[in-house]
Amino acid sequence: MLILLSAAVLPVLLLLYAIYKADKINKEPLGKLVVVFICGALTVVPASLLEMFLSDFTPDGALLEGLYTGFCVAGFSEELFKLLALFLLVWRSRHFDEYFDGIVYAVYVSMGFACVENVMYVFSGDSYSASMATAAMRAILSVPGHFLFAVMMGYYLALAKFATNRRTRYILYAFLVPVFFHGTFDALLMVPENMEDGPMKWVVSLLFLIVFILFDIKMWKRGVRRIRHLQQLSAEQGQEARSAFEGFQWNF
């Protein structure tokens, strides 16, 4: 039991630690991050209810089913409630005072969600070996996926917070871009899985696997660029703040 729980939670903790360490200018209060993480975990409940409702309208056919489930059921529902949690918890918070905070808070919300989801999937295995296989696969794919979706969301949320002349556009991007990446990520895995067994399934599965690997690499590259960009903007914010403070002291 403890080993399975550790296997489910450890990937989440590692990514939380990584993004916390990446926040180099003004780290967020740990108490605030814990609250955000817990609330992210709670978003599993409304997201699951919406997913169950939307699943009733799933179309027939492996392709349509995979696209609908990836984009409309999973991507739309999960990213919607993550973004709502961010608006309720941190949008007006005095701690959201630099660009990189957008990514930090988005990752903590998303990892809260991913942690609960991971535990549920791992403990639903028919056997210990099946549960460990699920934990290993999700540690490689699903948990990092949620991390990267959060990076995209937090990036545009930060731009919306501080680039007020394009706020509406960036808020839309904070929702639509993660939904796109989440939906594509899931659909590339679901479409082959939904196909009937046969030679064609193996061909399609191989093609989709190649596309998925290329897509995942591209998503990681984009995520790293987004992280570095907001780190740079936060550093510039800090320099401007220090310069203004020093100027105020001098004039005084």
Look at residue 17 and tell me whether its pLDDT is greater than 80. Answer: yes
What are the pLDDT digits (tens) for 168-185?
Answer: 999 999 999 999 999 999
pTM: 0.92
pLDDT at 125 over 90: no
Where is pLDDT greater, at 228 or 249? 228
Alpha carbon distance 91, 231 (integer Å): 19
Residue (of 82, 22, 92) closest to 47 by Cα position: 82
The residues, ordered by sequence, that sit 6+ positions from 9 with a Cβ below 8 Å of its Cβ are 115, 118, 119
Please say if the pLDDT value at position 213 is more than 60.
Answer: yes
Round to whole Å and give the CA distance between 224 and 218.
Answer: 10
Separation of alpha carbons 152 and 180, rounded Å: 10
Tokens 């193996």 label which residue?
Answer: 202
Among 107, 109, 115, 117, smallest CA distance to 51 is for 117
CA–CA distance, 235 with 248 (Å, rounded to integer)? 20
Q: Check if the beta carbon of residue 82 is closer than 8 Å to that of residue 108.
A: no
- Ranges of each domain in the chain: 2-245
- pLDDT tens for 46-90 read 999 999 999 999 999 999 999 999 999 999 999 999 999 999 999
CA dist., res. 192 & res. 81, Å (int): 28
Note the pLDDT of residue 242: 60
The 8-class DSSP code of residue 124 comes to: T
What whole-number percentage of the chain has pLDDT above 90?
82
Q: How far is it, in rounded angstroms, from Cα 18 to Cα 148?
A: 13
| Nearest in space to 95 (alpha carbons), one of 18, 148, 146, 35 | 35
Question: Closest by alpha carbon to 204, among 218, 223, 190?
Answer: 190
Residue 230 is encoded by which pair of tokens? 């907001």
**pLDDT confidence of 251, banded at 50, 70, 90?**
very low
